[in-house]
């Protein structure tokens, strides 16, 4: 299967939100909220749009990963800047085929 991993662009937003809904629908609870979370995250100041990626098969978006700024505080009270990913989603028809792993592996965090 030929999978293209590329940055998400604004015209992808509706398709990515639909994909997210399909991937999480009735997975943990009836319905889901993850597609709304994706929509809301993009306008948050902690959203890292430069890391936002989609997986495309045959012109169709089948996977997505988003990143936000986060931090950890160590025992000395020092704040350590980090990045957190999620939601990570793959359309149910394409799950368990390595697409999610490829989305995660795409980013070399040493370059961030």
Q: Indicate the pTM of the whole model.
A: 0.85
CATH number at residue 65: 3.40.630.30
In a domain, 112, yes or no: no
Give the integer Cα–Cα distance in Å for 104 and 82: 15
In a domain, 71, yes or no: yes
In a domain, 14, yes or no: yes
Residue ranges in the chain whose pLDDT is less than 70: 108-112
In a domain, 87, yes or no: yes
Query: In sequence order, what are the residues at sequence separation of 6 or more whose Cβ sits closer than 8 angstroms to the Cβ of residue 112?
Result: 51, 83
The values of phi and psi at residue 37, to 5°, are -60, -45
Domain around 58: 4-107
Contact between 103 and 4 under an 8 Å Cβ cutoff? The reply is no
pLDDT score for 112 = 45
Report how many domains make up the chain: 1
In a domain, 79, yes or no: yes
SS3 (DSSP) at 46: coil
pLDDT score for 36 = 75
In a domain, 69, yes or no: yes
In a domain, 31, yes or no: yes
In a domain, 21, yes or no: yes
Per-residue pLDDT tens over the stretch 6-38: 999 999 999 999 999 999 877 777 877 888 788
């Amino acid at each position: 299967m030929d999978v293209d991993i590329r940055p998400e662009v604004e015209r992808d937003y509706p398709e990515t939100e639909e994909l997210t809904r399909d991937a999480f629908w009735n997975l943990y609870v009836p319905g889901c909220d993850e597609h709304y979370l994706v929509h809301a995250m993009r306008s948050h100041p902690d959203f890292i749009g430069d890391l936002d990626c989609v997986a495309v098969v045959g012109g169709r978006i089948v996977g997505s990963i988003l990143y936000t700024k986060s931090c950890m505080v160590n025992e000395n009270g020092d704040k350590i800047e980090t990045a957190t990913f999620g939601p990570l989603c793959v359309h149910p028809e394409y799950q368990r085929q390595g697409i999610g792993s490829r989305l995660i592996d795409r980013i070399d965090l040493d370059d961030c």
